[in-house]
Structure 1
């Protein structure tokens, strides 16, 4: 999509240091996500 192209261009323009920071943020956010299977099991009750 157009948004993806713009986001990619912005990220590339900011440089390698910015990309490394984004990787760290992404990894930190992975740990905070809920497990969808656990949520579905609790909804069945």
Structure 2
């Protein structure tokens, strides 16, 4: 899950706890309202 709001990241984590037998997740918190440079850096990290 790639999110820009903390509540989205927390919801994903709670969902995994409730269904941990068959669900795995990873989340990545993005900068809110990033500059172009920050957006490019985040894209680079996400695609590693």
Q: What range is the shorter-chain TM-score in?
A: 0.3 to 0.5
Q: TM-score scaled by structure 1? A: 0.38
Q: Which has the higher helix share?
A: 1
Q: Which has the higher strand share?
A: 2
The structure with the largest alpha-carbon Rg is 1
